[in-house]
Copies of this chain bind each other. A is one copy, B any other.
């Protein structure tokens, strides 16, 4: 399990995390945007830096080779430490590079987006896209430490704050009514950074508890897929149309659809469903991005989700109430169509 360091002084937190590991050398992996905007502010004492091109489309084998080659040229040894500084793309790819270089070099993550802080930087999933498939190649490899600070979020666009906040809402739904109510009340765009960091700490704790119980996703960890079977389909549909959605926007819609399914099949309370939709309509998320003509394609995309071990079934994580989780729920096409209808009605 990774050591989590929450701090409003990321520079000293990183110095502390590194000194604690007593490495023979330090190498920073980042992307070109973060290298330009965030690194100068941090003023870190390590000069070995590899910046891969920014953007999800560069989370690929070519960038991975670029990092491996840079690590060789810099003389990185098994006793070195790699620091990944960036969004989920950097922490995923840099973590995988570290996990496979000389069969494993220790690494520290410093997520610079809300989404990567709440999601990608914790839990040991690393990887790259391959053969047109997301995260198809990767490993389970936890960071030695993750430094989490709200400081880099100050320069994030609204879209990225809302995208990360949707993953926090997922954790709240998995946790229970108290955390759900807390998040429904807070505004991540205008609210205080101190409060956001506190909410983030509690949100990450939910994920940590689940991952600790099942690090390699044999059972309970599947609960983290809440909102993601429908969400990934929404995301893929948008990409196919050449009009990509931020990941968290797709998850926010996916959560809505799967809460409707939870209500239909598992008795998730209508009052909680109503409150979630109400929040979604007012917090700044976009309206529904599909019509009934897209149902067939959405169902087909759900069927081919990586998590499905058998392509004949569609598996969901559902809730019978906030905090009460049912994994491995097999759902039929008609029920999915009904949920897509109801969600669309509620959002109009």
Choose, from A11-19, A133-141, A188-196, A225-233, the stretch at the interface. Answer: A133-141
* Docked complex: A129-167 residues within 8 A CB-CB of B: 130-131, 133, 135-140
Q: A94-131, CB under 8 A of B: which get 1 and which 0? A: 00000111111000000000000000000001010011
Q: What separation, in Å, do the CA atoms of A216 and B103 have in the docked complex?
A: 9
Chain B residues lying within 8 Å of A139, measured Cβ to Cβ, are 99-100, 103-104, 139
- Residue pair A24, B309 in contact (C-beta under 8 Å): yes
Q: A67-90, CB under 8 A of B: which get 1 and which 0? A: 011001001011100000000000
Identify A100's interface contact among B72, B78, B100, CB under 8 A: B100
Give the bracket for the number of chain A residues in contact with chain B. Answer: 20 to 34
Please classify the interface of chain A as helix (H, G, I), strand (E, B), loop, or mixed, using the class held by over half of its residues: mixed
Minimal beta-carbon separation of A11 from chain B (angstroms): 28
* Docked complex: A42-86 residues within 8 A CB-CB of B: 61, 65, 68-69, 72, 75, 77-79
Minimal beta-carbon separation of A211 from chain B (angstroms): 13
- Residue pair A138, B100 in contact (C-beta under 8 Å): yes
4 interchain residue pairs of minimum CB distance: A103-B138, A72-B131, A79-B309, A100-B137
User: Interface residues, chain A, CB within 8 Å of chain B?
Assistant: 24, 61, 65, 68-69, 72, 75, 77-79, 99-104, 125, 127, 130-131, 133, 135-140, 216, 306, 309-311
